[in-house]
Amino acid sequence: MKLEKLKEEKKKGKITFLLKDSDEVFANTIRRLVMEEVPVLAVEDLEIKDNNSALYDEMVGLRLGLCPIKTDLKSYELKENCKCGGEGCARCELKITLKSGKNGYVYCEDAVSTDPKCTFAYPKMPIVKLLPKQKVEMTLTAVLGKGKDHAKWIPGLAFYKREVNIKVGKVANPEQIVQQCPAPGIFSVKGNKLEVNSDKVHDCQICQKCVELDENISLEETGNFIFSLESWGQLAGKEMLHHAAEILVAKVDEMEKLL
């Protein structure tokens, strides 16, 4: 198996790579491990001292649960694996306080985390809007969890598609192909001839539209997969992949022991 990095946008937590000499089973295993097994922090409990905002407590709780928290997987442990036996300690719980009485929006940046490395990922994400004399004061407890238990613990998106080569022969109406292709930039017309832009070919959605329009165009599968990861802010794109690989190894080890 070989990996070839195609594109990485570190700030957005996006990474796209080519998976070679592998198969769909493996690609799908990695996809599922990323979305269901790689743990991240999310708010699980609230202790509300004050909330007279328009949103009732449960609504605020739901909103906070879905605000991504930057996750340092070296410092935290899943509750079920923690030495405290699940009672709750600094290894398995992150405390965040949220207190505001100012008129207007309360943002994620107004929350104060006890761990400066693990704060809300998007400072300007609004939590609640306060009118004069309204205030919120609460202590939040975030814990590690898995995406298979609740969507708030999903670290991001993982998806893949097959890589294709686009072969172009003598095309009757090249302009039509350029216009009808849903992924812009793949085709262009040069001197009344249809050309494929090799740097854009990975954007192909394999919709077969061009093949239907002209029989002299063909899509050939290379057998490789274009794999994309998009983080929701808790972990970097690469970290998601790294931890998915670790989990896979651990699962295989466990299976071997059981056999």
Q: Measured from the CB atom, is 117 or 129 closer to Zn ion?
A: 117
Residue 81 engages Zn ion in binding (rule: CB under 5 A): no
Residue 91 engages Zn ion in binding (rule: CB under 5 A): yes
Stretch that binds Zn ion, among 10-18, 88-96, 132-140, 145-153 (CB under 5 A): 88-96
Q: Measured from the CB atom, is 30 or 92 closer to Zn ion?
A: 92
In the complex, least distance from residue 78 CB atom to Zn ion, rounded to whole angstroms: 9
33, 40, 42, 82: which one binds Zn ion (CB under 5 A): 82
In the complex, least distance from residue 117 CB atom to Zn ion, rounded to whole angstroms: 18
Please state, in angstroms and rounded to a whole number, the distance separating the CA atoms of residues 164 and 142.
43
3, 54, 66, 84: which one binds Zn ion (CB under 5 A): 84
Please state, in angstroms and rounded to a whole number, the distance separating the CA atoms of residues 115 and 26.
36
In the complex, least distance from residue 95 CB atom to Zn ion, rounded to whole angstroms: 13
The angle at the Cα of 163, spanning 160 to 164, to the nearest 5 degrees, equals 145
Place of tokens 């991001």: 156
Q: Which long-range contacts (CB under 8 A, 24 or more apart) does 88-95 make?
A: 88/141, 92/143, 92/144, 93/141, 93/142, 93/143, 94/41, 94/69, 94/118, 94/141, 94/142, 94/143, 95/139, 95/140, 95/141, 95/142
In the complex, least distance from residue 145 CB atom to Zn ion, rounded to whole angstroms: 14
Residue 41 engages Zn ion in binding (rule: CB under 5 A): no
Per-residue DSSP letter, 220:
E
Q: Which residues are near Zn ion by CB under 5 A?
A: 82, 84, 89, 91-92
